Amino acid sequence: MKKKNPQIYSRRRFIGTTATGMAGITMLPSLSSCVKPAAAGSEITLGFIGLGRQAMFLLNAFINIEGVKVVAGCDVYGRKRSRFENRVNEFYTNAEQSVEVKTYEEYDELLARADIDAVVVAIPDHWHALVAIAACKAGKDGFVAYRIIFSS
């Protein structure tokens, strides 16, 4: 039996890949209308739901974006909540900024905060949908780990 070489593209595979790519490109302009632009000069306040390894990786990215303030986190484990608070406080102390960070055990408490604009959902896969739906119902925009972006 011959082994297929993944480096070699057949004509059929090339056409299929190209068609898929073109379909994605043509959809991009229509998807951009789903995103609400932030007002000039305004900050986006961000909360994290789930504070494990994935969240810590994402925290390093989001906290460095100009105009984004990380203000809350949620996890069922106290150790993860403490680690999150320490990292965020250390970042803002080093940046000479004053931001009050609060952590929660229940994600509903975080979603109830009116000052939070968006959430990062970094919890186990089987909880993604439930928490993303709750975030939408609470009027929050968000990012679900594994790059699913939603807007309320």
**How does pLDDT run across 93-135, given as a tens digit for each residue?**
999 999 999 999 999 999 999 999 999 999 988 888 899 999 9
Query: What number of residues does the chain have?
Result: 152
How much is the average pLDDT of 33-44?
Answer: 62
* Distance of alpha carbon 76 from the chain centroid: 19
Q: Quick one: CATH architecture of 44-150?
A: 3-Layer(aba) Sandwich (3.40)
pLDDT band at 32 (very low <50, low <70, confident <90, very high): very low
d(CA 59, CA 21): 30
- Phi/psi of residue 92, nearest 5 degrees: -70, -30
Kindly calculate the radius of gyration of the chain based on its CA atoms and give it in whole angstroms: 19
Instruction: Classify each residue of 113-139 as buried b or exposed e, where b means 16 or more C-beta atoms within 10 Å of its C-beta.
Output: beebbbbbbbbeeeebeebbebbeebe
pLDDT at 31: 45
Pull the structure tokens for residue 130: 């439930």
pLDDT at 15: 65
d(CA 87, CA 79): 12
pLDDT at 150: 59
* For residue 40, pLDDT beyond 60: no
118-121 and 141-144 strand pairing? parallel
pLDDT band at 145 (very low <50, low <70, confident <90, very high): confident
What is the DSSP code (8-state) at residue 35? S
Q: Are 122 and 55 in contact (CB under 8 A)?
A: yes
Q: What percent of the chain has pLDDT over 70?
A: 68
Max mean pLDDT range (2-16, 35-49, 89-103) = 89-103
Residue partners of 15: CB distance under 8 A and separation at least 6? none
d(CA 117, CA 38): 10
Q: Say which residue the tokens 């929660």 belong to.
A: 104
* Average pLDDT of every residue of the chain: 82
